[in-house]
Structure 1
Amino acid sequence: MEVLIGMAILAAAIGIGGGLYEFAVLDPAWPHRPSLVQPQHGGVSRKRFWISVHAVFELLLIAALVAAWQAAGIRQWLLTALAIHAAMRIWSALDFIPKALAFERARADDVSLEAARRWTSRSRLRMPLDLATLAALLMAFRTALHGTGI
């Protein structure tokens, strides 16, 4: 159980690292050069990274939850992590992903600098949810290690 929680923590940290990379490297530049996020023009394929990272994380989180189901204290933290992550993923699916795909498909001249800047600014609001998910996972791990999960 501890190994699964630890692996989920690692996957969450990789996702946070990817988010930090986007904020620090891609987001300051791509609104001025949309081709940076357009794979068909040699840009970064964000889908390739995010689909695999989220799939691995979600499978590990579910596996950890199944393994820890009998330990109420651990289960509580894992369910909290799942709920926070689900809120971020639903928000992303309904708002950020469709807009990101539109930016990727648009002709570079058709991308509004203002719309791209708004997207990058609002995208940063997802990071606190990712950090809260990680915090809940760390609490689950701590609870598991201290044997207070029952």
Structure 2
Amino acid sequence: MGIPALVLIAVATLLACVLVGGGLYETLVIDPAWPRRPGIIQARNGGISRRRFWIPAHSLFELVLIAAIVAAWGDAGVRTALLIALVSHAVMRIWTLLYFVPTAVAFEKADPVEVDESAARRWTRRSLLRLPLDLITAVSLLTALALA
């Protein structure tokens, strides 16, 4: 395997770890607070804009991961680890795009006093279930990097 493939795998691994870190930050810092104070996640009300991190982070990760798969296709062990990372990430992203994004956008657009706190808490509890998928992605990429 050549240096370009190794670099792509290393960058994809780094980006997967960034995604895990972002997920942990939201889970540990933002999610415990915002159901009681929805303005925290409403940029128009002085809160954070999650899309400013997640859209570029996921887009860059996905491009690099696909490039790494193409570059390392000839190595069966590395390819398998990269494909596991791709599948776990794809499952998480599809679930996110079908449920989490539309619901989050509704919370972000709602009047803060009208946000149903119990619905927001359900969203944060369900969101926790995405972290294991992110961890599978990161561990698969670390495995691919070790094999490369």
Pick the TM interval, shorter chain: over 0.9
Q: How far off is 1:100 after superposition?
A: 0.4
Q: Distance in 2 between matches of 1:50 and 1:59?
A: 14
| Residue 57 of structure 1, aligned match among 56, 61, 73 | 61
Q: Which among 40, 43, 47 is matched to residue 43 of structure 1?
A: 47
Which amino acid letter does the alignment assign opposite residue 7 of structure 1?
V
Q: What is residue 147 of structure 1 aligned with on the other side?
A: none
Alpha-carbon distance in 1 for matches of 2:138, 2:28 = 20
2:87 aligned residue: 83
Cross-structure match for 2:27 = 23
CA distance, structure 2, for counterparts of residue 28 and residue 80 of structure 1:
31
The residue type paired with residue 109 of structure 1 is V
What's the TM-score once normalised by structure 2's chain length?
A: 0.95
Deviation for aligned residue 1:87: 0.3
Alignment partners' CA distance in 2, 1:11 and 1:142: 16
Scaled by the length of structure 1, the TM-score of the pair is 0.94
Q: 1:103 aligns with which of 107, 112, 121?
A: 107
Provide the C-alpha distance between the structure 2 equivalents of 1:134 and 1:15, rounded to a whole number of angstroms: 9
Secondary structure at the residue paired with 1:28?
coil
* 2:143 is aligned with 1:139: yes
1:7-44 C-alpha deviation (Å, 9 max, x unpaired): 01110111111111111111111001100000111110
Shift of 1:71: 1.2
Q: How many residues align?
A: 144
| Partner Cα distance (1:18, 1:133) in 2 | 14
Residue 65 of structure 1 aligns with an amino acid whose one-letter code is: I
Alignment partner of 1:69 out of 65, 68, 73: 73
Offset from partner CA, 1:31-84 (integer Å, 9 cap, x none)? 011000001111100011000110111011011001001111111111111011
Q: Which amino acid aligns with 1:27?
A: D
Q: Where does structure 1 differ by over 3 angstroms across 4 or more consecutive aligned residues? A: none
Q: How much does 1:95 deviate?
A: 0.7
The alignment-based identity, stated in percent, is: 57
Q: Which amino acid aligns with 2:128?
A: R
**3-state secondary structure, aligned to 1:30:** coil
Instruction: Give ranges in structure 1 of 5+ residues lacking alignment.
Output: 145-150
Structure 1 distance, partners of 2:130, 2:55, is: 16
Superposed, which structure 2 residues align to 1:107-126 within 5 Å?
107-126=111-130
